């Protein structure tokens, strides 16, 4: 084995009282039995590897040579360590003075006597890294730490500085927004609830900054909504701990002006209800109710901003006013007509020749909206004379009775019998 060789020491100066931790580098340090600063043995030392030893300087004065001794001998190189009176470091500022619990924030420490710093600590936890910029400035990367205040200190050969407070923040979460809707013009005061909201620097609605906000507590913020397009938006809060997730269980809905209706299709249906009606118009998003003369639809679906599909409730026969309600208000009404099912009372005449062409008069009730007259399965030409009367032309066919029915949007009537004959009379 070769004799030990010392190539450098860091730091190369320390206080006369000793106690400076010094890294000695070189070769052939395995099995070292002594580390000396001049004639004095190090207060303690640890052999880290064959090329590195960590030693604590004893007390001393002036400039001394640092040597390492092994069973192969003592190093002979001249590598000095100087005892100097070093002022203790002091800190006057941290910028920024807060950050997330995950660490990673670059922090600038300002103060005095920072040269030769050997450690920067946050509540005793070493900084992820640090750089001595000058005797008055150090840049450091904050390590991860639990939420709360941490004491930041700097250690140099002159000692350890006073501490300054660096505050760690947990990431914020937003769990509620009340009210949860408002006009596209903005200006609505809303209350956001959640956790870790203290120190908030921004409140955003789909990335658009709130007009203003106030942090009431760690669990509540009051904000004024900015203008925004109609629709649902994600609400986020940013603090020194980060930005809340847009997927947090909350949302704010912007609505446009009052909804407007243009038409209902079909425009009529049975008094029994159950008809699916397409309501078209504008600004229908966020609809909370569809009513037929004040009676709620059996169900409805908002298909788009311009269409809603609603199922009619039961209602008496006659015209009804259909309206849609959204957070923006209640629409103008459009007309939907409820029809009672048609009934037939008489067919005059009730018989005719097989070659057809006989004009017959059907009397009954609720016939005004008739869409079809059939002789058995055969549709025939017809004219609605009044709500109680229809004229129709009998089709050709074979001898015998046929069923005559009338169909309206409210359904199909009972059947009456019309008889075809091969010759006039019976």
Interval 80-101 mean pLDDT: 91
Residues 335 and 376 grouped into a single domain: no
* Confidence band of 15 (pLDDT split at 50, 70, 90): confident
Average pLDDT, the chain: 92
Radius of gyration of the chain (CA): 46
Residues 331 and 277 grouped into a single domain: yes
The answer to the question of residue 255 being in a domain is: no
The answer to the question of residue 141 being in a domain is: yes
CB of 306 within 8 A of CB of 326? no
The phi and psi torsions of 241 (rounded to 5 degrees) equal -85, -5
Domain that holds residue 320: 260-339
Residues 326 and 267 grouped into a single domain: yes
Domain boundary among 19, 48, 83: 83
Residues 325 and 355 grouped into a single domain: no
Residues 352 and 294 grouped into a single domain: no
Residues 32 and 76 grouped into a single domain: yes
Residues 293 and 241 grouped into a single domain: no
Specify the CATH number for the domain of residue 268: 2.60.40.10
The closest alpha carbon to 350, from 360, 342, 340, belongs to: 360
* Confidence band of 249 (pLDDT split at 50, 70, 90): low
pLDDT tens figures, 23-80: 999 999 999 999 999 999 999 999 999 999 999 999 999 999 999 999 999 999 999 9
The answer to the question of residue 251 being in a domain is: no
pLDDT tens figures, 324-339: 998 778 899 999 999 9
The answer to the question of residue 40 being in a domain is: yes
Asked whether the predicted pLDDT for residue 84 surpasses 90, the reply is no
Interval 303-314 mean pLDDT: 95
Question: Side-chain half-sphere of 89: how many Cα atoms within 13 Å?
Answer: 30
Residues 118 and 77 grouped into a single domain: no
Domain boundary among 132, 153, 169: 169
Domain boundary among 35, 52, 83: 83
- The neighbouring-strand residues paired with 359 are 393
The answer to the question of residue 253 being in a domain is: no
Residues 162 and 185 grouped into a single domain: no
Label the pairing between strands 318-326 and 329-330. antiparallel
Structure-model confidence comparison of residues 295 and 424, the more confident one = 295
Dump strand ranges (E) for 71-180.
73-74, 80-83, 90-95, 98-100, 106-112, 119-122, 125-126, 129-134, 137-141, 148-156, 159-160, 164-169, 173-178
| The total number of structural domains that make up the chain | 5
The answer to the question of residue 265 being in a domain is: yes
Residues 371 and 326 grouped into a single domain: no
**pTM for the whole structure:** 0.49
The answer to the question of residue 426 being in a domain is: no
Asked whether the predicted pLDDT for residue 164 surpasses 50, the reply is yes
Residues 228 and 284 grouped into a single domain: no
Measure CA 107 to chain center.
Answer: 30
Residues 218 and 275 grouped into a single domain: no
The answer to the question of residue 355 being in a domain is: yes
Q: 349: cis peptide before it, omega within 30°?
A: yes
């Amino acid at each position: 084995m070769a004799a030990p060789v010392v190539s450098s020491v860091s730091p190369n100066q320390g206080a006369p009282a000793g106690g400076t931790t010094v890294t000695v580098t070189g070769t052939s340090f395995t099995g070292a039995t002594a580390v000396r600063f001049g004639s004095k043995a190090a207060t303690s030392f640890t052999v880290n590897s064959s090329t590195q030893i960590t030693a604590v300087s004893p007390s001393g004065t002036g400039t001394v040579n640092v040597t390492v001794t092994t069973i192969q001998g003592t190093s002979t190189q001249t590598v000095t360590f100087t005892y100097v009176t070093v002022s203790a470091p002091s800190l006057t500022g941290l910028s920024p003075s807060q950050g997330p619990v995950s660490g990673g924030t670059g922090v600038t420490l300002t103060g005095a006597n920072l040269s030769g710093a050997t450690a920067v600590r946050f509540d005793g936890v070493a900084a992820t890294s640090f750089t001595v910029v000058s005797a008055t400035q150090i840049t450091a990367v904050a390590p991860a730490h639990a939420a709360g205040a941490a004491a930041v200190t700097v250690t140099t050969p002159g000692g350890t500085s006073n501490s300054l407070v660096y505050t760690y923040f947990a990431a914020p979460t937003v769990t509620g927004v009340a009210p949860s809707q408002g006009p596209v013009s903005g200006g609505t005061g809303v209350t956001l609830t959640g956790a870790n909201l203290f120190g908030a620097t921004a409140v955003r609605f789909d990335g658009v900054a709130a007009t203003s906000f106030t942090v009431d507590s760690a669990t509540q913020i009051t904000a004024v909504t900015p203008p925004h397009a109609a629709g649902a938006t994600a609400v986020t809060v940013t603090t020194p701990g980060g930005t809340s997730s847009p997927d947090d269980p909350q949302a704010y809905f912007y609505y446009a002006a009052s909804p407007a209706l243009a038409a209902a299709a079909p425009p009529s249906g049975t008094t029994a209800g159950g008809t699916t009606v397409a309501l078209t118009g504008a600004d229908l998003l966020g609809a909370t109710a569809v009513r037929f003369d004040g009676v709620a639809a059996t169900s409805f679906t908002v298909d788009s901003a311009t269409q809603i599909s609603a199922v009619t409730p039961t209602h008496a026969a006659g015209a009804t006013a259909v309206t849609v309600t959204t957070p923006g208000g209640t629409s103008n009404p459009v007309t939907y007509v409820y029809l009672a099912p048609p009934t037939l009372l008489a067919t005059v005449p009730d018989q005719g020749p097989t070659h057809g062409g006989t004009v017959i008069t059907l009397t009954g009730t609720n016939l005004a909206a008739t869409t079809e007259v059939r002789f058995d399965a055969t549709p025939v030409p017809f004219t609605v004379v009044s709500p109680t009367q229809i004229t129709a032309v009998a089709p050709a066919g074979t001898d015998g009775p046929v069923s005559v029915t009338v169909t309206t949007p409210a359904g199909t009537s009972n059947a009456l019998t019309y008889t075809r004959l091969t010759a006039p009379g019976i």
